Structure 1
Amino acid sequence: CHSSLAFAQNHRRKNIIANRQRSSKVWEHFMKATEKQVECKLCKVKLSFHGSTSAMHEHLKRKHVMAENEESPFAKRKHSSTMDEFLTRPTKCTPQQANALTEAILNMLVTDKRPLSMVGDQGFKDMIKMFNQEYYENYLPGQSHFTTLMERKYETTFEKVKQALRAVTGSLILTADVWTSRATEAYL
């Protein structure tokens, strides 16, 4: 009686493992070598097997990057749909966020020494539209507004420099150099 119960439990366990083998795509790259070992079809390495496919997944991931990627199309789909949702989800833009984005664009123009006309270029507009469509449609200023913002930034920065120079109590030495670019433009 006890041996028939053990036989039934062992038979049930084998059926569960067989069903799991059918449901996991990892078995496309492995075959049973013995009751407690599986063999990789790609490199013939034998792994210990105790009913779980974790070691096989890990082997494919570490030793056969391509095989692991082929084996796991579900993860790829999951990430794609998440990325699709991110790209297609309309992004809200409050006036405060719009001001921060406009300031960031102005700082990019100043830092990277980009021409103000860049904000009117189609590629720039397409990029902004991709990042935040609502900002593009409702808040993105034109070149004239950025010109005004640039002039204000210049005035504020100029005042800060003047205040810093006034705060100097000792000697101050300034040097300047003029150079000409290949396009024969003079720079100070």
Structure 2
Amino acid sequence: MIGMRKRSAVWSHFIEVNDKKARCRYCQINISFKCGSHGNLQRHMKAKHPFISIEHQQCEERQLEKESAQEQGQKATQAMRELSQPEPAQRTSEQHTVAEQPTISHYVDKPSTGRKAKQIDKQLVQMIAKGHHALRIVEEPEMKRLIQMVSHCPNYQLPCRKTVSEKILPQIYEELLAKAKRKVSESTAVCLTTDGWTSRINEHFIAVTAHLIDKNTNLCSILICCKQFSERHTSENLCNFLKEVMTEWQISHKIAAVVSDNAPNIINAVRLGEWKSIGCFAHLLNLIVQHGVAEISDVLHKVKAIVEFFQPKPTRTSKTYGCTKTTEFISPEAETRCFNPLECDI
């Protein structure tokens, strides 16, 4: 009767004193029980120790007993092999078999069946088609990682849109913001790049990005500000805006340089703040290209006309390669010879 009585999980928290009483392992109080019933023991655990799981201890003990049984089985197998004295090659094979016992990963990561895989592939295509997603989504590393994590958590349920926008996103934002501020605070010098643009609804925004070298000597770029700027774009207002951003991130004493375009207002704003101003090389190169294109505008117009001539009707393209069986040209003379774009007066 004692063996059957101890099958209950509650006995992992009590020590049997005699046939009628058991002592609690935590408060050392003797609790009476009758005829194998352990209702008093369960009530004692719920009333006096509500934060202790009754099943947890038993699971641990069962795990220990299982590990002990496996260890004893391995020892017995090893002893039998030594008594039988097998050949060296056979002994090596048997030892290799005992060492490679299956683990939980053998069952979790086993490949899916062909039918199930086809159903998942079909659902993937439906998601891409109905959601207007790009085909490259199946090659994105974060998407692959998401699928791998979900495959190990079959009971996972996707949150609703409201939960994502009001709970999950703010939590992740706060975590990333704290991480970014910690990385900026650990740096000794910071360079800023700033630029502004106007949206389609005529709202102006200004972005500020911090560039620094972290403690592992890696170059990092962190977007520290992207706000709507409704004030006038004067040098004083832009300078005050940059000072507010620096004060918020506590980097006013770490600014090595500020990179911007060649607009006079932002250059004067950097000078008012007494920071080192560096012109954006990409913006300067763009200006040079625009001035160079203006010098060859006549050539560009002729090249554009040639492209527009061939683009609407593919039959004209075939004429370039010697095809004379076409009537798409305007003049009859054009049908007797191949059109050569190089003959145009450029």
- TM bin, normalised by shorter chain, reads 0.3 to 0.5
Q: What is the TM-score when the length of structure 2 is the normalising length?
A: 0.24
Which structure has the highest strand share of the two?
A: 2
